Structure 1
Amino acid sequence: MSTPLPGVATDEDGLRNGIHIFTAVLLMVAVASSFQMALIDAAINLILIAAFAAVYFLGSIPVDSWPDGKKQAWIVLLTALWIGEMVVSPVGIYLVFTLFFVYLQVLDELRGVISVVFAASVAVIMQIPNGLTFGGIMGPAVSAVISLAVYYAYRSIQRISSEREQLINQLMDTRAQLAQSEHDQGVIAERQRLAHEIHDTVAQGLSSIQLLLHAAEREVRDTNNAHARDNALERIDQARRAASENLAEARAMIAALTPDSLSRHSLKAALERMADSFGQAGELSIEVDIDGEVRELPMPVEAALLRIAQGAVGNVVKHAEASRCRITVTYEEDEVRLDVVDNGRGFDLQSVRTRRAEMGHVGVEAMRRRAEERGGQLTMESQPGGPTAVSAVLPTPVEGFD
């Protein structure tokens, strides 16, 4: 018997149960025919019917696990009992319906069809002694054709059902893979965002503290200079305040991912505080200018401007060797522009574009991503030996805040 297709075991059992019920009805009709026979013939008829019923019902349960030889022996025994029943009672011919389905289910396709043709031919031949009629020929022939049609229609339904189930499983797997992919992309994006947050807050703050402590260390070494000691104490105090501010930034980032300075001050004030901290750490003059009509911006836009300014000024302090830096915020009708310009040594823009954003080199990429996340863009102008200008333009909503 062919192996049941995946997902259709219930349908297979339904077909078998239907055949079992149909066979039981035919057997009861055959038993009823015994009332019209002589005693001996009736006894033989009942014995054959009981034997056929026992062989059929007891064998139909474990037949799937039997080897081919045992299956064929079971079919031969059922066929022999059926022929014997036809010899005793003409009603036994109707059991050919059961044999048709048994052949098709237990044997392979070719042998099953051959066995159906054989059983139909035997049913016709057994009628010859009593006189063969047109109905006697057409009955088994039409029954065989109907049985084949029903069986193959059922198998087609099974195949379609199996293919549909496989398709549904594939769609479910694809949906699960897409969901996992979206989750992974979300995790990656969140990691990048947190990396940028940490770079622009904790990393920049720690860098400022490091610069302040290095300066204090140099001045403390000159123990004979009271002014140097006073400067060292001032540097240490600045480092303490920078550490306090960065601790507040870190706590705010963890709690709400909103810059702590913006939650308590305006954008201009937050920029001035940041400029003062970086200016003292890098020993340079940083000015903050505002152009245009100042207006309240959505918190995400102000946060992006502050973080971009922190990144740009942090690079000035660490790399530019500049003495002056200017931060300008320009308010226009439908956008806001941030410019950070320094008089440092400059750099080769092409080397920055081709350098990968690896650990310790995420500053420029972080600023660019922040601008793009708000629908804006970031541009840089610089050359070795010359000044550097960083410009970020972000759109601002005309009505309401996003």
Structure 2
Amino acid sequence: MGEVLTAADAAQLQPSRRIQVLLGSMRVALHVTVAALLVLGLARCWQASHGAGDWGRLTLAGVLAAVFAGVYVAGTFVEKRRSEGGWTGIGGARDQIVVRWQLPWLVTVTVLWLGLVITYVDFAWLVFPLFFLHLHVVGRRSVPAALACVVGLTAVVLVAYAVHRDGLDVGAVIGPVIGALVAVVMSAAYALFYDEAQRQQRIIAELQAARADLAAAERHAGALRERHRWAREVHDTVAQGLASVVLLSRAALEQQPAEPIAGQLAQMERTAAHSLGQARALVGQDAADRAEATPVGELVQDLESLCAATQSTARQSGAVLKVSFHGVVPDEHADLGTASATVVRRVAQSALSNVLLHAQATRCVVTFTLHQDGCTLDIHDDGRGRGGRPAGFGIETMRQRAVERGGTLAVEDALPDGSGTVVALSLPREGAVG
């Protein structure tokens, strides 16, 4: 299996194991009975032959008994290997071959037993385990045929006693008949136990297959979540920086050769360096996973720097965009929580990047407010608005970040005519996230 069983799985397995032990014990008892009755028949034959000096009969009985034992052991060994799955190679085809040869093997064993009974009547006692063999092998194919075999074997024993002992008494009749009835009842019980064991094995196999499918589905879902998380982080960090670099590069290429491009190159360098730092942070350790606290004053500085960088990039690219920041923070040393602070940074980055690249705005106002039970971040621009367009990957990413921290994110048109956009983020304090 390769996996640790749960308590429920172990509870499912225990009944099957007990039944398997019981079935194995019954098979061992059958084989021991065959060996004991065969030895007893030889002993009785030797006693009778020794007293009468009939060494020929004793020799014949010994040879038949040896062949009977060899054929019986070979057949039971093959059947045991098949039932335990010990065969390798052609698998199901070999299993079919073994099943096909069961009937010829049973016929051979029965014929050898008949020879022993003809040689000496006390070998008739071997009929009791033969009952089980016929009920098991023939009964798999036809129960009426198996019962007919039991009746036929009983008749052979009765005829043998009548011939060898010049008639039948009550004991000679009752013994084989009761033995046949007991064999039928015990064989039926064995079949019930065997079917129950097979059913439980199928249930266990289905349980293990379902658990393996569930584990594979969970691994796949985990991989998808991790891939989406990385896509979200790259989109909100490195991709935004690269987009700014592309914007600055285009602006530089569109300038006249005589015009200086030092400002664009310097801004490109700053943007690329910042993106490189974020990429290294992502590869090393995610900012959202860091254990240290994040003072609100540090977050406010980051937001101010982000607004200034966005405005600088816009000017260097030839756009007319003024980005202003307002922070309402009663206590700069308060700890908003590292995960929540990361959400604020990422939403601000993504929203300002959208303003810079797509909004064609001239003014953008970013407002961060710290409340007693949380914080809010509002990004308001006077650009061309959403125009009824569906939310893209960036907006969905911002919304998912907010929801994961127990907050909300709304994206709305700023004016009735559809111009301008307002991105409103609301997050609870980290200790209040439930």
Shorter-chain TM range is 0.7 to 0.9
Count of residue pairs brought into register by the alignment: 376
More deviation, 242-251/168-177: 168-177
State the Cα distance separating 1:363 from its structure 2 match.
1.1
State the Cα distance separating 1:292 from its structure 2 match.
4.6
Map of 1:85-234 to 2, 5 A cutoff?
Answer: 85=119, 88-89=120-121, 91-107=122-138, 108=141, 109-128=143-162, 130-219=166-255, 221=256, 223=258, 228-229=259-260, 232-234=261-263
Question: What do the CA deviations read for 1:200-232 (whole angstroms, capped 9, x no partner)?
Answer: 11111111122223333344x151xxxx42xx2
Map of 1:2-401 to 2, 5 A cutoff?
Answer: 16-33=27-44, 34-36=46-48, 39-40=51-52, 43=55, 46-47=58-59, 49-63=61-75, 65=98, 67=101, 70-71=104-105, 73-85=107-119, 88-89=120-121, 91-107=122-138, 108=141, 109-128=143-162, 130-219=166-255, 221=256, 223=258, 228-229=259-260, 232-258=261-287, 266-283=298-315, 284-294=321-331, 295-349=334-388, 351-353=389-391, 361-382=392-413, 385-398=418-431
**So what's the TM-score if we normalise by structure 2?**
0.77
Counterpart code for 1:249? Q
In structure 2, relative to structure 1, the CA distance for the partners of 1:78 and 1:17 (3 Å cut) is farther
State the Cα distance separating 1:44 from its structure 2 match.
5.4
Matched-pair identity in %: 28
State the Cα distance separating 1:285 from its structure 2 match.
1.4
Question: What do the CA deviations read for 1:185-206 (whole angstroms, capped 9, x no partner)?
Answer: 1111111111111111111111
Matched-pair contact (CA < 8 Å) for 2:322–2:363? yes
State the Cα distance separating 1:263 from its structure 2 match.
8.0
Matched-pair contact (CA < 8 Å) for 1:268–1:288? no
**So what's the TM-score if we normalise by structure 1?**
0.83
Question: What do the CA deviations read for 1:162-187 (whole angstroms, capped 9, x no partner)?
Answer: 22122212211111111111111111
Counterpart code for 2:282? M
Question: RMSD value over aligned CA atoms?
Answer: 3.1
Matched-pair contact (CA < 8 Å) for 1:48–1:81? no
More deviation, 28-37/108-117: 28-37
Q: Distance in 1 between matches of 2:38 and 2:215?
A: 57
In structure 2, relative to structure 1, the CA distance for the partners of 1:298 and 1:55 (3 Å cut) is same
Matched-pair contact (CA < 8 Å) for 2:113–2:126? no
In structure 2, relative to structure 1, the CA distance for the partners of 1:127 and 1:70 (3 Å cut) is closer
Counterpart code for 2:326? D
State the Cα distance separating 1:148 from its structure 2 match.
1.8
Matched-pair contact (CA < 8 Å) for 1:380–1:390? yes
State the Cα distance separating 1:393 from its structure 2 match.
1.3
Which segments of 5 or more consecutive residues in structure 1 lack a partner in the other structure? Answer: 1-6, 354-360
Q: Distance in 2 between matches of 1:194 and 1:324?
A: 31
Which segments of 5 or more consecutive residues in structure 2 lack a partner in the other structure? Answer: 1-16, 80-97, 316-320
Matched-pair contact (CA < 8 Å) for 1:100–1:144? yes
State the Cα distance separating 1:13 from its structure 2 match.
7.2
In structure 2, relative to structure 1, the CA distance for the partners of 1:181 and 1:73 (3 Å cut) is closer
Q: Distance in 1 between matches of 2:330 and 2:267?
A: 33
Q: Distance in 1 between matches of 2:322 and 2:246?
A: 19
Question: What do the CA deviations read for 1:7-29 (whole angstroms, capped 9, x no partner)?
Answer: 99998776554333212211222
Q: Distance in 2 between matches of 1:364 and 1:384?
A: 21
Secondary structure of the residue that 2:361 maps to in structure 1? coil
Matched-pair contact (CA < 8 Å) for 1:127–1:136? yes
